[in-house]
Structure 1
Amino acid sequence: MTKPFHRKELISRVKTHLSLKHSKDELTKKNQELEKALEVQKQLEEEKDQLTSELIYHRNMLEDTVEMRTKELAAANKRIMNIVESITHGFVALDKEWKYIYVNNHPYFPDKLAASDLLGKKIWDVFPKLEDSDWGKEYLRAMEERVPVHFEAIFPYDDAWYEITVYPFDDGICSFFRDITEKKKYEYEMKRLSGLDLIGQMAAGISHEIRNPMTTVRGFLQLLSSNEECTKFHHYFSLMIDELDRANLIITEFLSMGNTRSAGLLQWDLNSIIQDMAPLLQADASNQDKQVKLELSDIPSLMVNRNEIRQLILNLYRNGLEAMSPGKVITIATFKEESYVVLSVSDQGGGIKPEVLEKIGTPFFSTKDNGTGLGLGVCYGIAARHKAKIEIQTGPEGTTFLVKFEV
């Protein structure tokens, strides 16, 4: 027989059973929730893996794109730099503090400065003379007014002419500049030759009309000077004849200066022409208590008009003598320089003032009290007829005239 349960025990067992069942149900529920959580976690892990994979893919794509763009940018910068460096003229960039931020390798800088020596330095510290020059004033205008400017100016450190274009950019300016010294010399020479051509036309037109009456007057003066009744006026006649001869010489020089065609060119050794003139040159120098020195190098022969070259040398030589005080030395030299044979006449005078230098060779311009202003003009005319050029170097210690003949 089954043992009968006590009421309390039965109730206790029932409660225990219900409690166990509830716990089991709770456990089952928790297990289901855990399974769902694990499933969700699995899905999240899969999504995370997928997103990570996609992120890595996009990161790699971005890195590849950045690398490609960086290479393209570097290549573009290199091309731009090559383009800028291929410019054979000067190119610089300055920031708003006037510091060099870029300098190409082509421009010439004094004191053997390289482009790397300028970067990061202020232009006014490197070249203080520029600040108060036309060059500096135009730079300042471009920087302050933010407008492009174009001008020509002399670089105060080598006295060379430059053509400069300045453009504003961001907070600074960039500048292109090229040496136009040879162009300026050519323009000056063309202007001078144009003036000589005009003089030639004028001289050809008036010389005949002037010389005819002068010849007549001179003839009558000579006739009167031989007349016994006019003996007491002989001194005046001689003076007038000398002045007529001087006027005739001026007309001859005037015609010579205006003539741009040379005739009678023969092969001559420039040194032999100078050596033939040496006694005359020595006599002129001795009479003025001055010295002449010849420094003649081996040079090739030239096609020249001997008489015109003698006149050229004599004019330059006598100008040099007159510029010197007693005891000084004038040097005549010849040498070969690249494709030129150079005739050099150097004096130890006080140099030529800039305002005078600009007018050298201008007809009838002279700093001498009794000068005609035709001597150097004749020299320039002779040089032009021989396809030579005259360069002048002057300073406080003296002046050198260089006549350069093309070989």
Structure 2
Amino acid sequence: MTAHQNPKTVFPTPRLSFRTSRTVIGLLLATVILAILLTFSTIENIDRAENHMRNFLIEKAEAIVHVLEAGSKTSAIHMMRSGNPLHTLLAESSKEDDLVFIRVVDKSGNVIDEAGSPSQIVLSTSNLTSILNEGSILTQLDRDNATFIVSKAFDSQFHIMNMHMMHDVNTTTAGGRPAENTYVISIGLLTRNFDAARKQDVHHAMFMGALLFLVGSAGLYFVFLYQDARVAKSSLANMRLYTESIIESIPVGLITLDSDGRIVSCNHNGEELFGRSFETLREKNILELLPSTSHYLTSNCDTASEHATEYTTAEGQALPIRLSCSSLLNHEGSVIGKVLIIKDMSSIRDMEMQLERSRKLAALGKMATGIAHEIRNPLGTLRGFAQFFGNQATTIMEKQYADLMVSEVDRLNQTVSGLLQFARPRELHLQDISIDDLFAKTIVLMNPDFIDSRLHFTCSRDTGIILNADPDLLLQVLLNLLKNSIHATPSGGEITLLAEEEKSHIRISVTDTGRGMTEKERDQMFDPFFSTGKTGTGLGLAVSHQIIEQHNGFFEVRTAPDNGSTITIILPKKSGEK
């Protein structure tokens, strides 16, 4: 892939349900609990502050009343010399900074005397009665003027001059002493300091609420960050699985290299192609495996061309491969390595060889048909004259010569019959056959040959495999393969006949411990008249190959010099299938 190409991939991203961890849930619960606690704490502090203010101001008002009551006793002796000693006392007391006013009223609510800036709040008759008769203390809060008013009974030791009366009220007891009179005194005290403290508490509560709001918002923000991170993590994991699944499922080897040509990754098909695990391939330079690709990797990478080469396996087998290369880029477009796609061309090469072989065999078959007809007729005449001369022979040597001519004509006629069978294969007679029965018949026919060659023979038994095929032709193929194995295996060797059932195919394998075949012999083994032995026509395997093709099957050959051979027939369970 070149630098200007952008891959277009639609990745299936599943929807993820919103889930939070215990930490996130704990954070949210802690935020809510703290908010509730802060609310109750603020309300409790405000109530406590108001109660403290009320008690403090009541105590202060009572202290002022006690001072006034004590002052009235002291001033009683000056009552006759002063116009209104109580007013003087009230005026002096009202000069304190936090005292707003002092007012004295009688039981009817009439103002007897007052000093300072009296509030407009008026005591009702019931309030006066409660204060005078029950001795209770009445508190009132004038929020507009920031004034806390305390009203209670006031005991005076002298007659109080009503400010609104133009004459004196002079009442004496029987003993000539002024009577003690009870009135209601109201004292107004400033609440500015307490209001300031309350505002400070409110501001503190608001600040803490704002702080909690920020903490809660941060918690929610982290929840969403967590969800985004979780989605990203899941998407990355899915993308990795998605990519790995694609890489592992492609039917070719895929290898990535770093900038120095060392192997960084390799899929399963690449491991099978090289016959090594990824652990042994990791960090290995690609030129150690494919030394002939040096020029291609440096000069022709990122081109549309493919490079054909061979890989030598650990067994020394040359494996044909095709190699394509493209640069590996990072997100910035910089080259960080290479991607190699390696195709195993063995099966394609085998198919090409089989196709070429089939083409040659078809041409050879046409030629063989004409030649066989031309040869077979004269052979009959030659055999008749040879028998005639044998019957007319007068000496033993003449008789031997005649018999030799007959046997050679018969051998030549057998070769011609083989050519005709190869050129004109008979029609298949398909039926369901038991592999166990077919193997049993094969053993009966071949066992004398195994004994004579002193070979150890084993085969599959009780497989229960049923195959749809022509039993006579399939038996002929097995006999040809086993005879070739006998000729290639020295005395004391082993020959094995096995059958395996797959999903839609049957595999029948003949394995020997003989001398094996070279690559050239392997390529020519199914050619007509090719033989590595001193005897035989070289038509057995060619005819066998033709029979298996009639059954829509094929051969798989594994062999190496001095390592024996395994020839496997792969047939569909139903001969009409492929």
The residue type paired with residue 145 of structure 1 is S
| Mapping 1:182-197, distance limit 5 Å | 182-197=347-362
d(CA) in 2 for partners of 1:290, 1:83: 53
Cα distance, 1:349 vs. partner?
A: 1.0
d(CA) in 2 for partners of 1:338, 1:154: 33
Q: Is 1:347 matched with 2:512? A: yes
Cα distance, 1:263 vs. partner?
A: 2.5
Alignment partner of 2:311 out of 151, 155, 158 = 155
Higher mean alpha-carbon deviation, 392-401 vs 190-199, is at 392-401
Alignment partner of 1:272 out of 409, 423, 437 = 437
d(CA) in 1 for partners of 2:359, 2:510: 26
* 1:316-354 CA distance string (max 9 Å, x none): 111111112222232222222342222222222122122
Secondary structure at the counterpart of residue 249 of structure 1: helix
* 1:151-193 CA distance string (max 9 Å, x none): 3334333855432223467585432223333322222221222
Residues 282, 291 of structure 1: 8 Å contact kept = no
Cα distance, 1:105 vs. partner?
A: 6.7
Residues 102, 119 of structure 1: 8 Å contact kept = yes
Map of 2:295 onto structure 1: 141
Secondary structure at the counterpart of residue 319 of structure 1: helix
| Mapping 1:396-407, distance limit 5 Å | 396-407=562-573
Cα distance, 1:219 vs. partner?
A: 1.3
| Mapping 1:175-324, distance limit 5 Å | 175-229=340-394, 232-259=397-424, 262-324=427-489
Residues 297, 333 of structure 1: 8 Å contact kept = no
d(CA) in 1 for partners of 2:510, 2:359: 26
Secondary structure at the counterpart of residue 208 of structure 1: helix
Secondary structure at the counterpart of residue 403 of structure 1: strand
Map of 1:113 onto structure 2: 277
Residues 432, 468 of structure 2: 8 Å contact kept = yes
d(CA) in 1 for partners of 2:510, 2:517: 14
CA shift in 2, pair 1:296/1:154, >3 Å: farther
Secondary structure at the counterpart of residue 226 of structure 1: helix
The residue type paired with residue 108 of structure 1 is E
Cα distance, 1:405 vs. partner?
A: 1.5
* 1:25-80 CA distance string (max 9 Å, x none): xxxxxxxxxxxxxxxxxxxxxxxxxxxxxxxxxxxxxxxxxxxxxxxxxx9xx999
Structure number with greater CO (CA < 8 Å, separation at least 6) is 1
Structure 2 gaps, min length 5: 1-234, 329-334, 574-578
Alignment partner of 1:362 out of 527, 530, 535 = 527
Cα distance, 1:207 vs. partner?
A: 1.0
Residues 344, 401 of structure 1: 8 Å contact kept = yes
What's the TM-score, normalizing by structure 2? 0.50
The residue type paired with residue 163 of structure 1 is R
| Mapping 1:159-174, distance limit 5 Å | 160-167=319-326, 170=335, 173-174=338-339
CA shift in 2, pair 1:345/1:364, >3 Å: same
Higher mean alpha-carbon deviation, 211-220 vs 159-168, is at 159-168
* 1:106-154 CA distance string (max 9 Å, x none): 643456634x875654335xxx4x2xxxx4312x012343554513334
d(CA) in 2 for partners of 1:195, 1:397: 30
d(CA) in 1 for partners of 2:472, 2:269: 45
Map of 2:536 onto structure 1: 371
CA shift in 2, pair 1:389/1:143, >3 Å: closer
Map of 1:49 onto structure 2: none
d(CA) in 1 for partners of 2:241, 2:322: 22
CA shift in 2, pair 1:196/1:80, >3 Å: same
Map of 1:34 onto structure 2: none
CA shift in 2, pair 1:142/1:288, >3 Å: closer
Secondary structure at the counterpart of residue 460 of structure 2: strand
Structure 1 gaps, min length 5: 1-74
Secondary structure at the counterpart of residue 520 of structure 2: helix
d(CA) in 2 for partners of 1:292, 1:103: 42
The residue type paired with residue 90 of structure 1 is G
Map of 1:62 onto structure 2: none
d(CA) in 2 for partners of 1:84, 1:214: 69
What's the TM-score, normalizing by structure 1? 0.69
Residues 257, 380 of structure 1: 8 Å contact kept = no
Residues 196, 381 of structure 1: 8 Å contact kept = no
Higher mean alpha-carbon deviation, 157-166 vs 215-224, is at 157-166
The residue type paired with residue 570 of structure 2 is K
Residues 393, 399 of structure 2: 8 Å contact kept = no
Larger Rg: 2
CA shift in 2, pair 1:230/1:384, >3 Å: farther
d(CA) in 1 for partners of 2:269, 2:452: 53
Secondary structure at the counterpart of residue 204 of structure 1: helix
| Backbone CA RMSD of aligned residues | 3.3
* 1:265-306 CA distance string (max 9 Å, x none): 233223212312323311112222333223234243223223
CA shift in 2, pair 1:228/1:285, >3 Å: same
Secondary structure at the counterpart of residue 530 of structure 2: coil
